[in-house]
Amino acid sequence: MAPKLHLGVALDGAGRHPAAWREPNSRPAELFGPGYWTDLAATAQRGLLDFLTIDDSLAVPGDRRAPADGALDRVRARIDAHLIAARLAPVTRHIGLVPTVTTTHTEPFHVSKSIATLDHTSRGRAGWQVRVSGTAEEAAHFGRRPLRELTAAELAEVRATGTFPGFVHDRFEEAADAVEVVRRLWDSWEDDAEIRDVATRRFIDRDKLHHIDFQGSYFSVRGPSITPRPPQGQPVVTALAHAPLIYEFAARSADLVFVTPTGEVGPATVLGQVAEAAAKVGRTGEPLRVYADLEVFLDTAAATGPQRLARLNETAGIEHSSDATVFAGSADELAELLVDWSGQGIDGFRLRPGVAVDDLTAITEGLVPALQHRGVFRTGYPDGSLRALLGLPTTVPNRYATA
């Protein structure tokens, strides 16, 4: 029997292309309303996808390294990814919900509480995409500390050698500490800490709540959390990575890493770099799952994928580019690519719809049947948590639990 593919989708406003909001089906007047997001989630769940991620940052959408040009012909606003996920939790049943939450300028206590709450309200379907916010513009929103950005020369050095200056390393050290605090806080309640015994007037067993006493360079957190342990024990932690430094961060802190291999080279080089990063940081136990990101413009009844992409580029007045491979073509062609990369060692895929409504529908109605026809994708959801759906261990030992 052919192994089953894991398939998620990355939602980001009207879609990844800057002109996506101007497409006829894109519902620009509803981008910040609940109906738009619940409809997208329903479409993704109808396609039996493993999860949806919701993009977010502390800056307006766009290339964060491009100069602020005041452009008004693209979406220039965001709403909170975690709150979108909270709205989706009660109207979905199976699909995982993975909001992006930054570790920079936020407190890990708040993050732990938010994601744990999402795991409770979704009954075990929560995840977290960790993001580092490294621009001066984002820092200025808070005014607590200045952040230096890469100079043009430093950026060229990074692109040429993959080597980052020390201050970038510091930000990922901070992010790793933040994830560690969050994970410890999720464990600070044992699974059976809640008694809820009216007769004895005891709601909790105080002996099963634990101080985490974390002391690090960036955080000093005593704990325990004020939120009971999440149903999954540890919700799924993910990160997007493009370079060895971030692969190392993911290997230290995440369950799943999103990577961006190129269509010309394929995933072998990236898979090798991720394996090297895991060995370098001494990761043991459960291996880091590697999911490939692809930005997709699929054939529809109205036009082919390449025609749609060309029209969007003409509308935007720019040639669209992405950090991930841009795929424009048919569902069958994409299915063949996914099967090929899966055979090379990729654990799963996250597709970024170029136009959210159109391409998510094409994924559900075109790509998923093409994968099912090849025997590599499920025909129904199993019961269980997001961890179970992704093949991660469903019993996660609590580091503080007493015998």
The annotated binding site for FMN is made up of 56, 100
- Annotated binding residues: 56, 100
Nearest Cα to 122, choosing from 80, 84, 85? Answer: 85
As a whole number of angstroms, the distance between CA 368 and CA 377 comes to: 7
CA distance to 46, 94, 240, 258, 354, per residue, from 326 (Å): 24, 28, 16, 15, 9
Other Cβ atoms closer than 10 A to 282 = 8
CA atoms within 13 A on the CB side of 355: 27
As a whole number of angstroms, the distance between CA 387 and CA 122 comes to: 13
Other Cβ atoms closer than 10 A to 95 = 25
The two tokens of residue 362 are 């094409």
Q: What are phi and psi of 66, to 5 degrees?
A: -80, 150
In sequence order, the β-bridge partners of residue 337 are none
Other Cβ atoms closer than 10 A to 94 = 17
Find the angle CA(390)-CA(208)-CA(192) to the nearest 5 degrees: 50
